[in-house]
Amino acid sequence: MIETLKIMYHGYGFDKAIGISYFSKFIDELKSYKFLEIFVFQAKTYPLRYVFDFLLSTPSLWIDLSDVEWIEIMNAMNPRPYPLKLSLDNGYFADIHFLAKYIRVNSIEVFLHQNNFADLDKSYVIQYCQRDVYSLLIDKIDLEDLDGEYFMSEKKIINIHSRLISGGIFSDFSFHEDELISYLEKINISFKKLE
């Protein structure tokens, strides 16, 4: 598996092959591996933008994951490194970031409510989110790319969002800039009170 993921990463972007058209060459082989292992290796090894491109190009690998399976991925990503010493394009928080930004479910809240996750990891997730708040918000360019050809369609994302929300563990993550800054400040204060 790791060899395939390395080949996939090092070939990305050459010959103008990007997005779905590039990753589709690897789908059949990738389906024979456990998605959790694929995700964790890539997120801990490659840049965030690449991890996002991979996820948005290969929905068939993860589209049916349950809320519990996403929490298992979060757990497998722990322990996490101190975010303020990492580049902004690190993938160590890709699970939380992707779910919040693209699927628009509150992965931050879900992460913080897991009793078996270390307080240090929870603190790092808050710091990561506060470090670059605007990157958690989807913008016009992101939406344009969700056309079903370059990346998966926005319609598929809406369906995943609805399914995860209906499970009762995830809630909606729809914030404007100021609301998100205020929300993150609030959860940071609440978390510090619990420490």
What's the pLDDT tens digit per position in 104-157?
999 999 999 999 999 999 999 999 999 999 999 999 999 999 999 999 999 999
**5: confidence class by pLDDT, cuts 50, 70, 90:** very high
Instruction: State yes or no: pLDDT of 75 exceeds 60.
Output: yes
Do residues 99 and 107 lie in contact, with contact meaning Cβ atoms separated by under 8 Å?
Answer: yes
Q: What is the pLDDT of residues 7-57, one digit of tens each?
A: 999 999 887 789 999 999 999 999 999 999 999 999 999 999 999 999 999
Do residues 97 and 62 lie in contact, with contact meaning Cβ atoms separated by under 8 Å?
Answer: no
Q: DSSP readout, 19-75? A: HHHHHTTTHHHHTTS-HHHHHHHHHHHS-HHHHHHHHHH-HHHHTT--HHHHHHHHH
Provide the pLDDT for residue 195.
57
Greater model confidence, 189 or 136: 136
Q: What are phi and psi of 5, to 5 degrees?
A: -65, -35
Distance separating alpha carbons of residues 57 and 54, to the nearest angstrom: 5
Distance separating alpha carbons of residues 41 and 91, to the nearest angstrom: 10
Q: What is the pLDDT of residues 27-39, one digit of tens each?
A: 999 999 999 999 9
Distance separating alpha carbons of residues 42 and 20, to the nearest angstrom: 17
Provide the pLDDT for residue 194.
64
Residues in contact with 131: Cβ distance below 8 Å, sequence separation at least 6, in sequence order? 83, 84, 88
Q: What is the pTM of this model?
A: 0.95
Provide the pLDDT for residue 160.
98
